[in-house]
Chain A
């Protein structure tokens, strides 16, 4: 079997067809030298980006846990032209616990009549107790809602940002460039996670923070695929020397 003569383009053990090789057509010269090559690389980038857009789809509700390309959303240290591709919050099902607790707290004062000890207090004491109780109930619900609303994981075209407010007084922000992501794994465990399709995503990075964990987010498999596409896009950019 004859072997290829062009060792730069074909591996040593690649076989070539025995048919006579057609002479190469002369390349059309482009008035702006080198532009066709650039267009090809851009289209490769756009292909990756289109795949990402196709994966994330559209979000209709602004209070969704899976915000695809939000128009209004912004965060503190975003670069001016940095496009936000995806914003993730915990799955809505994870809010069910505190919503149930809040509902029980709301109906609790109606059972006060059945507590004989409180009957011996003057009515104005009971009134103040009820006002105070509803304030605490509101605070419980409000704090839980804030925790859900502001704990976000953001995927931009350049990096991933994890903003965590662990409680009202503790803030933690970690980010990693997409080019630094080494591996993305996800877990879906338990009945509720399987039924409602949510789980944890672990992003292993070569950055200062070795693993970024995103807990209880919707569609973890889609998120993993999106990050995979973004990595490919970044690799493409790095190959072309266009990395920012």
Chain B
């Protein structure tokens, strides 16, 4: 493994993963905001479920940041 990638490549992969997970968390937050706005515009039976899903998605994305820091 070390022959093929080396410590330098693994470190690059780690930083890229952290950067990616932070970016993804921002995206997940935008999704939460947008779902909330959509639900204000159009109200239907499943709105609360969709908002819940968007929050679960956001918190999972947030959880990915410490996971990346710990695992890699």
Contacts and interface: CB of A to CB of B under 8 A. Distances in A.
Interface of A: 62-63, 70, 72-76, 120-122, 124-125, 127-128, 131-132, 135-136, 138-139, 142-143, 146, 149-150, 152, 163, 165, 168-169, 171, 173
Nearest to B24: A135
A36 B61 CA distance: 67
Lowest 4 CB-CB distances: which A-B pairs, in order?
A74-B43, A124-B71, A150-B38, A168-B34
Given A131-B67, A146-B50, 17 more contacts: A63-B46, A73-B43, A73-B44, A75-B42, A75-B43, A76-B41, A120-B5, A122-B1, A125-B13, A132-B24, A135-B57, A135-B61, A138-B57, A139-B57, A142-B54, A168-B34, A169-B34
Contacts, number: 86
Interface string B52-63: 011001001100
A149 B45 CA distance: 11
A74 B60 CA distance: 31
A74 to B, nearest CB: 4
Contact of B35 (A132, A135, A146): A146
Contact of B72 (A75, A124, A146, A168): A124
Contact of B71 (A128, A135, A152, A169): A128
Nearest to A168: B34
A180 to B, nearest CB: 22
Interface residues of B, number: 34
B45 to A, nearest CB: 5
A128 B67 CA distance: 8
A72 B45 contact: yes
Given A72-B45, A121-B1, A149-B46, A132 B20 contact: yes
Contacts of A149: 44, 46, 50
Given A76-B41, A120-B4, A120-B5, A135 B46 contact: no
A119 to B, nearest CB: 9
Contact of A62 (B28, B34, B44, B53): B44
A150 B57 contact: no
Contacts of A168: 30-31, 34
Contacts of A120: 1, 4-5
27 contacts: A62-B45, A62-B46, A63-B46, A73-B44, A73-B45, A74-B42, A74-B43, A74-B44, A76-B41, A120-B4, A120-B5, A125-B13, A125-B71, A128-B17, A132-B17, A132-B64, A135-B64, A136-B24, A138-B57, A146-B34, A149-B50, A150-B42, A163-B41, A168-B34, A169-B34, A171-B41, A173-B41
B31 A169 contact: no
Contact of B42 (A62, A76, A125): A76
Contacts of B64: 128, 131-132, 135
B15 interface: no
